[in-house]
Amino acid sequence: MTPGLPLHEGHSSPGVADLQRRLSALSHSCGDDQIGYFGPATEAAVRSFQDGRGLEVDGRCGRQTWTALEDAGRHLGDRLLYLTAPMLRGDDVLELQTALGSLGFDAGWVDGLFGPDTAAALTEFQINVGLNGDGIFGPESLRAVRRLTGRTGPAHPVASVRELERLAAGAPTIADRRVLIADPGGAAPVTEAIARRLLQSGARVIVVHDPDPSACAAMANRFDASLVYSLRSQLPDRVSHAYYEGPTFESVGGRRLASLVCRELDALLAQPGRCVGRQVPLLKETRMTAVESRIGPPVTLVQHAPAIADALLNAVATWCSTPLES
């Protein structure tokens, strides 16, 4: 059962006790804090978990952190895995996707979401090893995966190969590229300016003003975007540019675009940015290159909106021509 969120220092409830239990099970000790009380040691444990999972580190347990805790507590073989709506998610799914990819079966983006690509790869695997190809991962499939992955050495995941193929096949210019600009709130002057610059360069652009990152990711997937760029303001005087990086998969296209955005904006803003791999929903659930920038303080976005839009256009143009680091 999901507790009342967000949970933060000073809270005292059964939900905090559940949080502490989950953190402790994942080797993030809550120290001497009383069970059920969110004290300094629990906050430190939350920060440690967030940092290790590639989440925003704020010491508060909100929806994203709670979902990540649920995901981290799932182990391959603990439950049946199959295609359903909403999709099953968790580290057990991610482990299955990684195993299938290492064996040459394309389970799609390694994101911990059991979607159609994962179901198709599992079915193909089952048929290849002489099992009933029903797309349901149970004890027999687990034994087969364990047996075969134990015989193979490290392999280049199929997801990485597919991403490289997509990047190599992309058009070398912005013209006709499909771009989704996500504005979760507070950056409309800049996101609209970016969209205008891209449209003037011939791109097909949609701007989504929605605070729900999963909704933005679903829209990007339906739009079949070439890339996704999200910009949000934040109160601290910090700048970061994030791309998707999970335990077994990193988006090389995302890392390249994030580094280009960082380079362009560092030349403009007083506060230098940093590129980071994260597992936040927008980056994790999209099926294409995606970058999320966080720029603070908010007044910076207002003061530099046209220049930021020009810098982003330069970064995207360079990425289109050279989507991989040389």
Domain with residue 103: its CATH number is 1.10.101
Statement to judge: residues 220 and 179 lie in one domain: yes
When divided into structural domains, the chain yields a total of 3
Statement to judge: residues 250 and 204 lie in one domain: yes
Show the domain range for 229.
Answer: 170-321
Q: Would you state the torsion angle of the CA atoms of residues 217, 60, 37, 23, taken in this order, to the nearest 10 degrees?
A: 60
**Residue 153 predicted with pLDDT over 80:** no
**Residue 192 predicted with pLDDT over 90:** yes
Question: Shortest CA distance to 264 belongs to which of 320, 223, 309?
Answer: 309
pLDDT score at 145:
95
Residue 120 lies in a domain: yes
Residue 4 lies in a domain: no
Domain with residue 246: its CATH number is 3.40.630.40
Statement to judge: residues 203 and 315 lie in one domain: yes
90-104, 253-267, 274-288, 290-304: lowest mean pLDDT where? Answer: 290-304
pLDDT score at 56:
86
Statement to judge: residues 174 and 316 lie in one domain: yes
The stretch 13-22 carries a mean pLDDT of 96
Domain boundary among 104, 122, 157: 157
Statement to judge: residues 189 and 123 lie in one domain: no
pTM score: 0.87
What are 209's two structure tokens? 């003003």
Domain boundary among 103, 123, 157: 157
**Residue 277 predicted with pLDDT over 70:** yes
**Residue 1 predicted with pLDDT over 80:** no
Share of the chain above pLDDT 90, in %: 81
The stretch 218-224 carries a mean pLDDT of 96
User: What backbone phi and psi angles, to 5 degrees, belong to 36?
Assistant: 95, -5
Statement to judge: residues 309 and 267 lie in one domain: yes
Statement to judge: residues 146 and 57 lie in one domain: no
Statement to judge: residues 212 and 286 lie in one domain: yes
pLDDT band at 87, cuts 50/70/90? Answer: very high
pLDDT band at 143, cuts 50/70/90? Answer: very high
Statement to judge: residues 189 and 247 lie in one domain: yes
